[in-house]
């Protein structure tokens, strides 16, 4: 099951992430994919706001992972520059299957490491500079949850 949401601004993309956050639960994995600059980090900022994270979320590109405290812990990964072996050496499973929410930019690069249950969001450019299409697709237990999310949006 999948559905698409359109955004026409950075502010709206943040708002969509913030609107998703109350539906997130401990152990959830969110895979974000799309071209450079498509809005993955912007969307992640919205999730952080919705989880009551007080720190400003920044891209973890060179850090690989950043951890934030909020209503639920937020683990923000960027796997663009890391191999699967390096990710395994970091102990990714300790984050993925924890009491927090894991958001993974470039998650499509490690699809086979995500497990059976995750939400995939693909960011596509639109006609204008800030236009985006966000395609939500659920896997495993997220298939049913995506139906509920579709009603929200």
Q: Using one digit for the tens of pLDDT, what is the confidence trace for 87-140?
A: 999 899 889 988 999 999 999 999 999 999 999 999 999 989 889 999 999 999
Residue 74 is predicted with a pLDDT of 98
Residue 153 is predicted with a pLDDT of 85
pTM: 0.94
Q: How many domains does the chain have?
A: 1
Distance CA 69, CA 92 (A): 18
Domain span including residue 127: 2-152
Residues 6+ apart with CB under 8 A from 112: none
pLDDT (tens digit, 9 = 90+) per residue, 6-34? 999 999 999 999 999 999 999 999 999 99
Write out the two tokens for 13: 């993309």
CATH of the domain at 108: 3.40.50.300
């Amino acid at each position: 099951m999948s559905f698409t949401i359109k955004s026409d601004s950075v502010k709206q993309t943040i708002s969509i992430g913030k609107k998703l956050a109350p539906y997130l639960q401990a152990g959830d994995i969110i895979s974000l994919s799309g071209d450079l600059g498509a809005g993955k980090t912007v969307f992640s900022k919205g999730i952080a706001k919705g989880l009551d994270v007080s720190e400003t979320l920044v891209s973890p590109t060179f850090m690989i992972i950043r951890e934030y405290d909020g209503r639920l812990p937020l683990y923000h990964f960027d796997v663009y520059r890391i191999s699967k072996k390096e990710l395994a050496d970091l102990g990714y499973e300790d984050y993925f299957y924890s009491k927090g929410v894991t958001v993974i930019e470039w998650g499509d690069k490690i699809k086979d490491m995500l497990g059976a249950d995750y939400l995939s969001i693909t960011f596509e450019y639109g006609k204008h500079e800030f236009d985006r299409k966000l395609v939500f697709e659920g896997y495993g237990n997220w298939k049913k949850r995506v139906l509920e999310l579709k009603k929200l949006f």
